A = this chain, B = another copy of it.
Amino acid sequence: MHFASDNTAGVAPQVMAALQAANEGHVPSYGADALSEAVRAKIRDLFEAPEAAVYLVATGTAANALSCALLSDPWSAIFCHRHAHIQEDECGAPEFFADGAKLVLLEGAHGKIDPELMRPVIAHAGGAIHHVQRGMLSITNATEAGTVYTPEEVRVLTGIAREYDLPVHMDGARFANALAATGATPAEMTWKSGVDVLSFGGTKNGCMGVEAVVIFDPARAHEFELRRKRAGHLFSKNRFLAAQMLGYLAGGLWMGLARHANAMAARLSDGIATVPGAELLHPTEANAVFARFPRRVHRSLRDAGAQYYLWPFEQSLDGDDDELLAARLVCSWATTEEEVGEFLSHLA
């Protein structure tokens, strides 16, 4: 019963096969090879963005931090949700890459930025040179709380950002899950809704380690190349990043994997909802479930081999039997119906 994270799973067989196939002979390094060119073309096509610049890196933190650095200045306020990955889980990478920019936190239920709460924060920011200046907005979709923004909801946020001339980044570490949840196309969820730069995740959804940074305004491309190299994120054997992403996108594999992960989470969530004494913290819209139940139930699940994190992390299994503790349960492309069923039967 593996629900600790979607990054404990391995690599989808088709992606591994693509890596194998890419291992033929000598090719130019640093992205000048045919596979690297093919993945750029494929992603431009997928996003209906023939002008977009596309770069591959190996980690989501690299994709996010490089994107934030690209869209901000060192004296910028980077607006994001209080629980965004760039704020909570990257050890200050955005501040490092953006040479000391300041993350300014936005509120909203279920991990989603509330536009009504966002507007006054942005309005108050900036102004005189004594303050950090309005820089950019970063939106996470799917969110850290397992919820999803629809394109309409994205447009509301980017519309406010536009009023202040703020470029917008989307952290799409779980972009496929967001598309699977909404039925939106890649273009609808991004540039058609006002997103300027996307971190397009592959790692959590069946790749070994690859994320694409999609920059819809190619004028920013050269600076990105310099930032990527300078940060040690340009691969000499770039063909193997390209091969992963091509295998991931071929034949819609990526969407199939995401639909599966979301379906497993829905099944898990629905099951939990029927258990007396268990309650959901957030609507389950993507591949993560957040639910609260008594500590003794957590103990018995752990004893039965269920792997997941208490939420927030610092909570303990030691203490009052009946106290309600939250769990974060993450499904992936590799989660099985059996695992879900076993978990639910233990829970009941």
Contacts and interface: CB of A to CB of B under 8 A. Distances in A.
B203 A236 contact: yes
A341 interface: no
A338 interface: no
A124 B58 contact: no
Contact of A2 (B26, B95, B133, B231): B26
A93 interface: yes
Given A59-B236, A209-B58, A209-B236, A90 B8 contact: no
A60 B30 CA distance: 13
Contacts of A9: 26
Contacts of A280: none
A92 B236 contact: no
Number of copies of this chain that the complex holds: 4
Contact of A232 (B233, B234, B235): B233
A100 B89 contact: no
A305 to B, nearest CB: 12
A233 B59 contact: yes
Instruction: Point out which of A93, A130, A314 has the most chain B C-beta atoms below 10 A from its C-beta.
Output: A130
Nearest to A334: B26
Given A99-B99, A314-B127, A11 B240 contact: yes
Instruction: Point out which of A16, A62, A95, A235 has the most chain B C-beta atoms below 10 A from its C-beta.
Output: A95
20 contacts: A4-B26, A7-B29, A8-B28, A10-B27, A26-B334, A58-B209, A58-B235, A90-B230, A91-B129, A91-B131, A91-B132, A92-B230, A93-B229, A95-B100, A97-B232, A124-B314, A127-B313, A127-B314, A208-B237, A231-B232
Given A61-B234, A204-B236, 14 more contacts: A4-B26, A9-B26, A10-B26, A10-B27, A59-B236, A61-B229, A74-B99, A75-B230, A88-B130, A91-B131, A92-B100, A93-B230, A124-B312, A129-B225
